[in-house]
A and B are shown apart, each in its own frame.
Chain A
Amino acid sequence: MMNLPTLDRRNVLSVLFPNQEDYLFITGLAGSARDAAGLTEDGDNLFTMAGAMGAATSMGLGVAMSAPDRKVAVITGDGELLMNIGSLATVSTIAPANLSIVCIDNGCHGETGGQTGHTSNKTNLEMMAKGAGITSTMTIEAESDLAKGAVFLVDAPGPRFIQLRVMDGPPTSYKRNMDLAECRLRFRNAYLNSNL
């Protein structure tokens, strides 16, 4: 039986990514998007989703392959990742060294009413990532693991996968830009200008 999570999701990303400005972030919808928007203050190194559930890992893969000199992080949730779990196999085959996937696993569908998810039952996402062939994986369950997670994101060979088990509770309160065409251009222009 797994221990009950004790981590508050609102406090984890800032420990894992002390230098968030060094990353390009792609997130799934709902809580993971808000937590990442809080981390970057909805920065131009962030593209969040508010729909298209399941797209984050694949979009992050496209970014990582096309910007091999930049660090790319996907921030997803347990429900979002499971909706397109095959994307982990695709990541494993391509094996981009600059890609990290952080799954904030609250074990439920927080955005739609907190309905129980598979990871509250028997599903283990770190094992699924390993099974897909991603060799650098870890599970973080306690405050004391977070610093190890930050080191793992720097030192472990990519691609990396972190399952971050958190309590069921509200995500970061952050009102992000929801105009997706504007957000595409913001991210794209910032990246292209940084490469001039």
Chain B
Amino acid sequence: MSDTDTVDWSKQLFDDLIEAGVTLFPYVPDAGNKHLIEYAEEHNGVRPVLLTAEEEGVAVCAGADLVGEKAVVCMQSSGVGNIPNFLSFVNGGRFPILMMISMRGDYGEQNPWQYPMGQAVEPILKAMGVLVFYVDSHDDLGPATEAAISATFKGGKSAAIILTQRFLGAKAF
């Protein structure tokens, strides 16, 4: 995927999140969320929150929810390994947490370190009660985003928009 394509879909995703009322974008930097976070930095009324670890972002989102605001935590798939214990209050407390996960360790991955965690993303999220909505192509992006937003901010569930490497492209080594 070219950088121009990345900018285009990032804008589409950002606009959908803004329309849904998202005001906070806690994130651990990843190539997959780079442009999304740049849009958040430039947009009035929303704030990116640079994290040291992904679990912080889950708690930041829950804090926003406690006072009626909406947030999305953005991370690479490896970060899913850092969040399960914090998903205990998401699951048990029925916090409607929205996640944006950019995959490594799936379609076309060349780095052997990425496969174990990449392949564990879905079982971990499902074990902790997080719904998953996959984006394999540009055509999936709008519907998957809408489905995840509906599940969280209307349906009261927690959900992840998962951008696969089929969509993002695999990093060359």
Interface residues of A (CB under 8 A from B): 24, 26, 47, 49, 51-56, 58-67, 70, 84, 86-87, 89-90, 93-94, 180-181, 183-184, 187-188, 191-192
Contacts and interface: CB of A to CB of B under 8 A. Distances in A.
B61 interface: yes
A65 B65 CA distance: 11
A66 B94 contact: no
Interface residues of B, number: 33
Contacts of B49: 61, 65, 90, 94
B1 interface: no
Interface in B1-57: 23-24, 26, 47, 49-53, 55-57
Nearest to A72: B63
A26 B65 CA distance: 13
Among A60, A66, A89, A94, the one with the most B-chain Cβ atoms within 10 Å of its Cβ is: A66
A47 B95 CA distance: 13
9 contacts: A26-B66, A54-B86, A55-B59, A62-B62, A62-B63, A62-B71, A66-B66, A84-B55, A90-B51
Contact of A181 (B61, B85, B93): B93
Given A62-B59, A62-B63, A66-B23, A55 B50 contact: no
A94 B60 CA distance: 12
Contact of A89 (B24, B52, B66, B88): B52
Given A59-B59, A84-B53, A187-B66, A66 B93 contact: no
Nearest to B93: A180
B44 to A, nearest CB: 15
Interface of B: 23-24, 26, 47, 49-53, 55-69, 71, 85-86, 88-89, 92-95
Given A94-B49, A181-B92, A191 B66 contact: yes
B124 to A, nearest CB: 16
Contacts of A188: 65-68
Given A84-B55, A90-B49, A90-B51, A67 B89 contact: no
Contacts of B62: 55, 59, 62
A113 to B, nearest CB: 20
